[in-house]
Amino acid sequence: MAKRRGKKSKRKRKQRQRQKQKVFQPTKKEENEPLLLKVPEKRDIPVDDFLASYNLDAEWGLGECLDHLMSSIKRKYFHRWEAVVLQEQGLPLTEDQQDLLDELITFYDEDDYEDEDEEKEAEPILYIDEMPRPSEPWYETLNKVLPRLVLTPFKTYESHYEIYHDGWIEIVECLEEHAQGLSVPEGITTPVDALSPNIRHRLWLQHAVNSLSGLGQKEDMTLANEEEESWRIEELIETLKECKKSIEYFDLTLEGLFEFVELPPQDEKILVEYMRQELELIFVKEKLNSVL
């Protein structure tokens, strides 16, 4: 069993670890391509199925699951276990991974050593802070959850839980700030890019059309109301500009935009006319990436 080490014993532990294992000094390319977490083959090593205790078919369960997943990334649950697994496999560690290992205490019996100079193979760490290692890499778990955030189409006249409005942005912010150094698939350079491209770009577009949310829910919530029309459509256009990669991914046209968002018929007509004038579109089948 392992737990985080107190400050007093950290220095002594670090010196011993440095002597036992050469710390890998990554090149720039290697920093961008962390090694993958591999589940141990030994059947007697416990693992945690992160999603098993959540009802992902219910909005409250989905919200709790994502909150826990983001919290685990922030608390470096996945970082610590990836460092442990790499050490078990005899693979090189980055400085940050070595520092995480230095914060752990492993308890050994005296019988684990043949003599003072030669150490037998230590027992594997089974728990950190009473939690076993994850059963799969963090991005595989997140990729199983993200499709449930997608609403296709996003219906503006229906009420949606907050998680469908802000959940994706909170995930991106968490990954950009706290997920650096975690394993990613081969060829991927950032944590966000480790997520399914199709789902990722759908969620970016869902974020873009969020300014239209509420249209049709009340009588005065319509683009026929000039106060609603101006700010909603201007914000939509600005957000679409920020999501050009997603527009390019789906080769999106103004006509194709309505595969991702559904408005009341009256509002759709107003939106089309407003955007054709604002973006100087001649046809609704013109590519949006060429005019944004």
Domain positions in the chain are 2-136, 154-290
- Kindly report the number of other CB atoms within 10 A of residue 284's CB atom: 14
93-102, 234-243, 265-274: the lowest-pLDDT one: 93-102
- Kindly report the number of other CB atoms within 10 A of residue 281's CB atom: 18
pTM over 0.85: no
For the segment 186-205, what is each residue's pLDDT rounded down to a tens digit? 999 999 999 999 999 999 99
Give 73's pLDDT tier (boundaries 50, 70, 90): very high
In terms of average pLDDT, the best of 41-50, 107-116, 132-141 is 132-141
What is the dihedral sign for C-alpha 53, 174, 32, 19? negative
Q: Distance between CA atoms of 195 and 200, rounded to whole angstroms?
A: 6
Which has more confidence, 106 or 275? 275
Across residues 89-97, what is the average pLDDT?
A: 90
Residue 129 has pLDDT above 50, yes or no: yes
Residue 279 has pLDDT above 70, yes or no: yes
pLDDT at 121: 57
Residue 209 has pLDDT above 80, yes or no: yes
Q: Indicate the pairing of strand 47-48 with strand 133-134.
A: parallel
Q: Distance between CA atoms of 233 and 271, rounded to whole angstroms?
A: 7
pLDDT at 123: 75
C-alpha distances in angstroms, 140 versus 40, 126, 134, 183, 209? Answer: 16, 21, 11, 11, 27
DSSP character at residue 209: G
Residue among 173, 230, 179, 176 nearest 207 (CA): 173
Residue among 250, 249, 175, 238 nearest 207 (CA): 238
Tokens linked to 170: 């909170």
pLDDT at 20: 40
Tokens linked to 116: 């003072």
Residue by residue, DSSP assigns 100-143 as: HHHTEEE---GGGBSSSS-BPPPPPP--BTTBPEESS-HHHHHH
Residue among 206, 283, 210, 211 nearest 250 (CA): 206
168 three-class SS: helix
Angle between helical axes of 95-102 and 77-88 (0-180°, round to 10) = 100
Helix, strand, coil share (%) of the chain residues, nearest 5: 50, 5, 40
Mean pLDDT of the residues in the chain: 84
